[in-house]
Amino acid sequence: MPQRDPAESSTKPHWTVASVALFVIGLLILVPSGLCTAVGLVYGIASLAVGDFSLLTMVLTIGGVPVALGIGLVVISLGMRRKA
């Protein structure tokens, strides 16, 4: 059985409790708000055919904030992982 190089295992980042918590909270915010924003974007793009921009701008301003927050929490949690 081949032995693993100890230097190789020390370069892998490990999840901490805080990084796991932020990752889970970020995904809990990102997934539902992303799905709702995507559905709203479909209707907003369909309303562009009639020349109505109000629905599209409303979806992007109201739905974009939670999506950006969820993405931010996921990115921060990935950066918080420690190298052992």
C-alpha 41/C-alpha 59 separation (Å) is 7
Task: Report CA-CA distances (Å) from 25 to 50, 66, 75.
Answer: 38, 12, 12
Domain that holds residue 50: 32-84
Share of the chain above pLDDT 70, in %: 88
**Strand locations in 1-84, DSSP E?**
13-14, 82-83
Residue 1 lies in a domain: no
Domains: count for the chain: 1
Residue 12 lies in a domain: no
* Amino acid, res. 59: V
* 53 confidence band (pLDDT: 50, 70, 90): confident
Residue 19 lies in a domain: no
* 55 confidence band (pLDDT: 50, 70, 90): confident
Residue 4 lies in a domain: no
